[in-house]
Amino acid sequence: MISIDLKDRVKGGASIEFLRVEVPEGHRRIPSALIRYSLDGVEQTFGLRLDLDKQVVLDRFEDDEEKQETVERAIPEILKVLRSNLYAR
C-alpha cells in the first residue's frame, strides 16, 4: 500500500480534515484509492473510496450536504497530489 500525506496539502471544511490517500501497490491495475479523513479531529475507521478512472468518490454523506460538498470540492486537489507523488516515484 502506498500512503500519501494530505494534511496541510488539501483544504477541508465542514469539520472534515483530509489526512492521507492510500493506493494499492498495483494501482495501475486497480484504479481505486482510499481517502482517510477525520471528523472533528477523530480519524474515521472507514475511508472514502475514490474511483481513479471516473475521478469520483463512491461514498457519500447522505445526511450532510455541506460535508458532501467539501469532499467533492477536494477531489481535484487530492487527484493532483496523488498524481504528483505517484509519478515522482
Cell output for 14: 465542514
Strand intervals (E) in 31-83: 32-39, 42-43, 48-51, 56-57
Helix (H, G, I), strand (E, B), or coil: what is residue 82? helix
What is the mean pLDDT of the segment spanning 13-41?
90
Under a CB-based contact definition with an 8 Å cutoff, are residues 23 and 79 in contact? no
pLDDT band at 9 (very low <50, low <70, confident <90, very high): very high
Question: What's the total number of domains in the chain?
Answer: 1
CA distance 73 to 67: 10
User: Residue 1 is which amino acid?
Assistant: M
Structural domain of 81: 2-86
Helix (H, G, I), strand (E, B), or coil: what is residue 19? strand
Q: Looking up cell 475511508, which residue turns up?
A: 47
pLDDT in tens, 21-30: 999 886 566 7
Helix (H, G, I), strand (E, B), or coil: what is residue 9? coil
pTM recorded for the entire structure:
0.91
